Structure formats: C-alpha cells, structure tokens
Amino acid sequence: MMKRSFRFQDELMEAIKDTAKKRGYKSTNAFVVEAAQNEIERGNSAMRESEQRVSAVLDALYREIRKLNDGQQVQIAFQEAVIKFLLTCIPEPPEGDVLEESRAAARVRYEKVLRSITHSLNSGNLKSTIAELITDAEPAGS
C-alpha cells in the first residue's frame, strides 16, 4: 500500500474527524479512504448513466434518419413511376410552330404547378393536400 500525505484546512480536518467519529470509523484515514472510493464509484456510475443517455439519443436519431431515408426512397419510386407513365402515355409533340406553342403552354402549366407547390409548402398544409388528393382518387365505394 502506498503512503500519501494530504493537507486539509483546519475547518475541513475538524469536520472529517467529527464525521468519522460519529459514523464509527476506526480512524480519520479509514473515513477518507472510503469517501474517496465512494466518489470514484459515483463518478463511474455517472459516466455510465451519461453514456446510456447519449446512446439513447443516438438510437432515436438513427430511427428518425431511417424514417427519412425510407420516405425519400418512396418519393423516388413514385417519381420514377410518374416519369415512366408520362414517357409511355404522352405522344411526341408535333414539329414547327405548333411545337413552340405547345412548349409555351407547357411552361405556363409548369409555373402554375410550381406556384401551387410553393404555396402548399409555405402554408404548411402539404399533408392535408396530399390526404385530399388520395381521398379524391379513391373509388366512391371504398
């Protein structure tokens, strides 16, 4: 066992002696050793609790990121299906002046869609809009 010397202020040393005597320790040294051991154990316990809290937060973040990833994959699949539908169902545009008129009309429709999307995102009712679209798309008998 290693021998160490510590300097305590007089008031603290008196408090240590009184507490050791009241609690029935053989010496003040035994009291100080046990107090040091308790402090070390309490510190380890606090570290474990802190690690558990950090681990719980990381687990929650992982679940949230996973949900976002799954949602993104659904959106990508939906966009792919829409693109395939459009490419297979819409005929090629005609050539010449009619093509330019068609493009101009398409640009106007596209700008209207963008404004509608921006309005939905800014007003915060995107979920209700999607729910309405799904409800409207369902057959009347369901």
Going residue by residue through the chain, which has 142 residues, state the pLDDT in tens, using 9 for 90 and above: 777 777 888 898 888 888 888 888 888 888 888 888 888 777 777 788 888 999 999 999 999 898 888 878 878 888 888 888 887 787 776 777 788 888 888 888 888 877 776 776 666 555 665 666 566 656 554 4
Amino acid occupying residue 129: T
Q: Where are the domains of the chain?
A: 8-90, 94-142
Alpha helix (H) residue ranges in 1-142: 10-22, 28-89, 97-123, 126-137
Q: Angle, nearest 10°, between helix axes 28-89 and 10-22?
A: 90
Q: How far is CA 92 from CA 25, 80, 99, 102, in A?
A: 96, 19, 10, 11
What is this structure's pTM?
A: 0.40
